[in-house]
């Protein structure tokens, strides 16, 4: 069951529990006993539904925060504005389970070192966010074509704006599952554990022998990487390198 649906069910279960307890006369009069029972009920339902552990805290805090915020008398337009802002940044994260977080310049430097030196390589960043990987990479390797595809409108627009003076960056807005990966020498993924099995399947089916899949932080479960790079940064980034279609048959040159 998708996590967002589990969250909705847990909230409804908490609401039903609170409503039932109030109807049965089990709760003291007032709003806060209802809120507490709803929150504890929702968190318990999340445990029963085997939601990830952080959902417990979210469910415990949700109804109390809503009740507290309502008492502040904030105009509804602000909630709408916050919702629209978050939607533009996170877009389909609730479905893809890939939130926005950014590669750092040290990682871009490590990836630049993986690009072949003997021809102008083509790299694709799956979900290019604000272009945090592509911008330093394109500066380090002006001979290479650095491409990115991003689903969320706000990071995409920001990446277009920030990279407008870098002619070797090519950005598109869309879904990377719909794009053929056939023509790329390197495909870079900084996503989450959830899509990695599907990334592996698509990369194995579409990449050419010799093409490289680089996954930042999230290995492909059950597949031994060809190499692992420890990036010397504060978050101890690890890059997992794979050749999903095997090595290049001869010294690899683009036609």
The residue range among 62-70, 114-122, 128-136, 161-169 that interacts with ligand SAM, by the rule CB under 6 A, is: 128-136
The residue range among 41-49, 61-69, 112-120, 143-151 that interacts with ligand SAM, by the rule CB under 6 A, is: 143-151
Does 147 help bind ligand SAM (rule: CB under 6 A)? no
Instruction: Choose which of 184, 190, 240, 242 interacts with ligand SAM (CB under 6 A).
Output: 190
**DSSP strands (E only) in the chain:** 122-126, 145-150, 169-173, 186-189, 212-216, 227-230, 238-242
Instruction: Choose which of 143, 175, 198, 230 interacts with ligand SAM (CB under 6 A).
Output: 175
Does 245 help bind ligand SAM (rule: CB under 6 A)? no
Which residue, 10 or 123, is less far from ligand SAM as judged by CB?
Answer: 123
**Integer distance in angstroms from the first to the last C-alpha of the chain?**
46
Q: How far is CA 24 from CA 32, 35, 48, 63, 165, in A?
A: 17, 16, 24, 21, 67
Greatest CA separation for the chain: 78
Which residue, 66 or 102, is less far from ligand SAM as judged by CB?
Answer: 102
Query: Residue for token digits 């102008």?
Result: 120
Environment class of residue 166 by beta-carbon count within 10 Å: exposed (0-12), middle (13-18) or buried (19+)? middle
Which residue, 182 or 254, is less far from ligand SAM as judged by CB?
Answer: 182
Q: How far is the CB of 60 from ligand SAM (least distance, A)?
A: 27
Q: How far is the CB of 98 from ligand SAM (least distance, A)?
A: 4
Task: Name the strands in the sheet holding 212-216, side by side, starting at the edge strand that comes first in the sequence.
Answer: 169-173, 145-150, 122-126, 186-189, 212-216, 238-242, 227-230
Q: How far is the CB of 78 from ligand SAM (least distance, A)?
A: 25
Tell me how far apart the alpha carbons of residues 118 and 173 are, in angstroms, rounded to a whole number.
Answer: 30
Which residue, 10 or 149, is less far from ligand SAM as judged by CB?
Answer: 149
Residues that bind ligand SAM (CB under 6 A): 91, 96, 98, 100-103, 125, 127-129, 132-133, 149-152, 155, 175-177, 190-191
């Amino acid at each position: 069951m998708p996590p967002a649906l589990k969250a909705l069910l847990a909230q409804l279960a908490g609401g039903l529990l609170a409503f039932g307890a109030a109807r049965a006369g089990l709760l003291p009069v007032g709003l806060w006993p209802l809120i507490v029972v709803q929150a504890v009920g929702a968190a318990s339902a999340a445990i029963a539904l085997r939601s990830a552990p952080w959902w417990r805290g979210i469910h415990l805090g949700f109804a109390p925060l809503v009740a507290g915020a309502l008492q502040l008398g904030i105009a509804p337009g602000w909630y709408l504005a916050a919702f629209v802002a978050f939607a533009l940044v996170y877009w389909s994260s609730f479905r893809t389970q890939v939130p926005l977080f950014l590669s750092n310049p040290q990682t871009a430097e490590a990836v630049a070192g993986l690009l072949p030196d003997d021809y102008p390589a083509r790299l694709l960043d799956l979900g290019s966010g604000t272009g945090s990987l592509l911008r330093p990479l394109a500066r380090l390797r002006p001979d290479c074509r650095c491409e990115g595809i991003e689903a969320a409108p706000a990071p995409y627009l920001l990446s277009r704006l920030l990279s407008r003076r870098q002619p070797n960056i090519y950005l598109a807005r869309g879904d990377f599952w719909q794009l053929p990966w056939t023509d790329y020498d390197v495909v870079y993924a900084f996503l989450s554990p959830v899509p990695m099995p599907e990334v592996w399947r698509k990369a194995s089916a579409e990449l050419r022998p010799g093409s490289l899949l680089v996954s930042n932080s999230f290995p492909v479960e059950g597949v031994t990487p060809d190499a692992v790079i420890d990036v010397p940064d504060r978050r101890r980034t690890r890059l997992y390198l794979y050749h999903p279609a095997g090595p290049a048959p001869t010294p690899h040159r683009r036609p």
